[in-house]
Amino acid sequence: MKKIIASNFKTNHSRETTREFMEDLNQYLVQKEIKNDVYVFPSATAFDKFDLSENLIVGAQNCYHTKSGSFTGEIGTIHLDEFGIKTILIGHSERRHILGESQKEVALKYNYFKALGYKIIYCFGEPLEVKQAGLTETLGYIWEQFDGIDLSYENLILAYEPVWAIGTGVSATIEDIATIHRKIKKKIDKPLLYGGSVKVCGLQDILEVPNVDGVLVGTASWAVEDFKKMVYIASKMDGSSKIIQCEKESN
């Protein structure tokens, strides 16, 4: 399976810089003949009619479980339909822990978008105090984040994103990733991404971990040149070709 690479813009990039990013990235995929699935989750205000390769997919970071209605500040599926968006992130740690989405609400959203056939990237992961309590506690916490979630859904991609690694600059260790991904894959046969401070230089090592099918990247993906490097590294992991060596760089 080709490695999946996803970029979460969070609350970054304007409409104009999103367009520049998408056009630059698309041109790169075409030029290098990269066929991996590449997802970009821009802010909703930057949704647009992009002319993109089939494997470059724009998704929504969030959407309320409605077509339209009176939900001030939210968007509904009419706003996604306008741009043909059929992919959504659900359960991201910032929505759970900063914006207060409960597991019940997350599950409700999941089921709504599942019924509409959306591709769902479902995020889960433990906070630091749970990790520090041990592996059993960590796995227990993770299984609770699957409450109400149909894990047999055909359009599901999972993303393990430990809360303490998101946006902190401190990625999980290779051992941590290997352990958690092995445990999850044993029970759930779905593509499984890792997310949490992935950078260009650490990417190859992470993608080589068994049971890692790709990555979801925030901060380090916002500069298009860096994201292109990530996509390139991922594309070269599929064959026997030697992957570019990462030089010392800030990212």
CB–CB of 59/88 below 8 Å? Answer: yes
Identified binder of ligand PEP from the candidate list 106, 197, 224, 230, rule CB under 6 A: 197
Is residue 217 a contact point for ligand PEP (CB under 6 A)? yes
Find the catalytic residue in 94, 101, 126, 161.
161
CA separation for the pair 31, 161 (Å, rounded): 31
- Residues 145-164 touching ligand PEP, rule: CB under 6 A, are 161
Annotated active-site residue 16? The verdict is: no
Which tokens is 205 given?
Answer: 């090592």
Select from 111, 116, 101, 121 the least CA-distant residue to 38.
121
User: Quick one: which segment of 79-87, 129-137, 177-185, 190-198 binds ligand PEP (CB under 6 A)?
Assistant: 190-198
**Residue number with CB closer to ligand PEP (28 or 94):** 94
Smallest gap from Cβ 62 to ligand PEP, in A, equals 12
Measured CA to CA in angstroms, residue 154 lies from 17, 87, 150, 157 at distances of 33, 13, 10, 9
- Sign of the dihedral defined by the CA atoms of residues 82, 6, 108, 117, in that order: positive
Is 161 known to be catalytic?
yes
Among 4, 57, 198, 231, binds ligand PEP (CB under 6 A): 198
Q: Residue 214 interacts with ligand PEP (CB under 6 A)?
A: no
Which residue's CB is nearer to ligand PEP, number 34 or number 166?
Answer: 166
Asked whether the CA dihedral 65, 69, 72, 75 is positive or negative, the reply is: positive
Residue 226 interacting with ligand PEP (CB under 6 A):
no
- CB neighbour class for 21 (10 Å; exposed up to 12, middle 13-18, buried from 19): buried
Which tokens hold the place of 231? 């996509």
- The catalytic site residues sit at 92, 161
Which parts of this chain interact with ligand PEP (CB under 6 A)? Answer: 8, 10, 161, 166-167, 195-198, 216-220
